[in-house]
Each structure stands twice: as C-alpha cells, then as structure tokens.
Copies of this chain bind each other. A is one copy, B any other.
C-alpha cells in the first residue's frame, strides 16, 4: 500500500515480515523454503494493515501482543492463495513463480495446509478473547466456501448479480471486515465501534474485489501481471460480464463464449469487446464508489483522527488503484 497511508503502522508492517519469516521456520526444510518464497514474493499485506490500524486505537498498544494475530491473518491469506494457484494451475503471481510451479501441486497443497494450521497455532499460543478465535475460524470457513462456490460455477455463467455479491462477500469482504474487527477487538473498543469497523472493512473489501474483477477485464498485462480477461478464460464470471449477459444485444454470443472450456484467444477478445461495449464497466465502477462512500461514512467518529484519516486514505487508494 502507499507509504503515506500507513505512516502509523509502518514499523508494525516491517516487523510483520520478521514474524512471518519466523512462522515458517521449521525443522522440515521444504516448509521453510516454500514459506520464505511466499513471503518474499510480496503482497500488499492489506489484511494485517487494516488490523494494525484499528489495534492502534489502544493507548497501550503492544506490538508483541497483537503481532501473532496479524501474522495469522496474512498466513491464512497466503495459504488460500497457494491453494488458489493450484486450483487455477497458475504459474506466476506478482511476477514470481507460484509454489505449485516451483514445487508441484502436491507440496503446494500440503504447504497451504501447514500455513493454515500455523495460523491457528500462533493464535492458540496467545490469550486473545474467545471471539477472536471464533472470528478467525469463521473467516476461513467463509473463505473456502466462497472459493468453492466460485469454482463450482466455472464455465456455467449461471451466477446472477446477487450470487456474485454473496460470493465476493464470502471470499474477500468478510476477510477484510474481520481483519478490522479483530483490530478493534484487541484494542478494547466498544461493541458499537467494533461493529462499525467490521462494516468499514466489509465495504472496502467489496470495493476492493470489484476493482480487482474490473482490472482483470480492463487492465493490461504490464500493470496487472496477467493478461486481460484471465477470469473469463478460467470460466469465472464477474459483475461486468454478468451485467453484459443481462443487458448486451450480443448476450447470446457472449454466453456461448464464456461457457466454452475451449475458448480461443480470438473468442476471449470478442467477449471482452462485448463486455466493454455494454455498461458493465460503468455499472461496476458505480458500485465501487457506492461501497467506498459507505466505508468512509460508517467509520466510527470516536477513532483518533490520524487512524480515521488513514482508513479514509486506504479507501481512496482502492478506488484509484490500477494493479
């Protein structure tokens, strides 16, 4: 994330890298190797960042106390990406080789399992509240359920707008919501403020995933690190395409392309053309703006000003991001 947004948590995020590295140290060399590769491949560390910001509302903020939970959030995210890359047979992520490309599907699946377990292990070692543990496990059941729905629907184009929103809520929004909520929880904020932070994270998460899905259609390989239309190619129908399937005069042609497992590059180009010619892109951008406005509106008034500003800047950053 942009440096200015996260001045408050800059040193937390830098210490997080050490905590993550520590979490993957194992007498089993392969675990350390795969784990280190994943950590060094980078990532925005968005979930721990959202968590740390809220945690800083505590006047007695203690980094050592909150770090295991921050690391657990990132480990769960990392593990789910490792499994995702196996599911998609992806060979690169963020310009680096994926774990499945480097070590094969078998070790990648097991490394993902290990990272999930390690996340729960880090949290079990601490004395967080019952709710913290509950929310962390709920986060993972929702995450896998969301991915499962998505994978079940590939090449079916059977998803409507409502189902799409449910799916990205389970897959992404809920994770960011719980990251913010947990930060508020460890900071000892009021129930009302914790709920408001959850709502903020949820709205930002929805906007984030919508933007991600939009960039997948409109971005180019140089900026997003994968060719445009990758979702459609993999049979994943996102909001702009759903909208075009409803509204476009060429919707029958689009449907026949997106449900074809043997899609050629020419067919993909044509699908992108149809989606862009419909109002799917504008419709999605409007939804992003709605969610970001909501995110900024629901932020609790009781937050320290610098934290509140950081959360607002994070929301603005998402609406402007191009990668």
Contacts and interface: CB of A to CB of B under 8 A. Distances in A.
Given A87-B110, A145-B31, A148-B107, A124 B133 contact: yes
Contacts of A137: 117-118, 120-121, 124
Given A83-B109, A145-B31, A148-B30, A138 B121 contact: yes
A147 interface: yes
A278 B124 CA distance: 47
A148 B114 contact: yes
A279 to B, nearest CB: 31
Contact of A148 (B28, B86, B116, B136): B28
A140 interface: yes
A118 to B, nearest CB: 6
Contacts of A204: none
Contact-residue bracket for chain A: 35 or more
A28 B127 CA distance: 33
A117 B140 contact: yes
Chain A interface SS verdict (over half) = helix
Number of copies: 2
Nearest to A124: B133
A81 to B, nearest CB: 12
Nearest to A116: B116
B110 A144 contact: yes
Interface core residue of A80, A87, A121, A130 (most chain B CB under 10 Å): A121
Contacts of A133: 120, 124, 133
A129 to B, nearest CB: 11
A134 interface: yes
Nearest to A110: B148
Given A113-B140, A121-B134, A145 B106 contact: no
Contacts of A114: 141, 144-145, 148
Given A28-B149, A111-B148, A127-B130, 9 more contacts: A30-B152, A83-B109, A87-B109, A113-B143, A116-B117, A124-B130, A124-B133, A124-B136, A133-B133
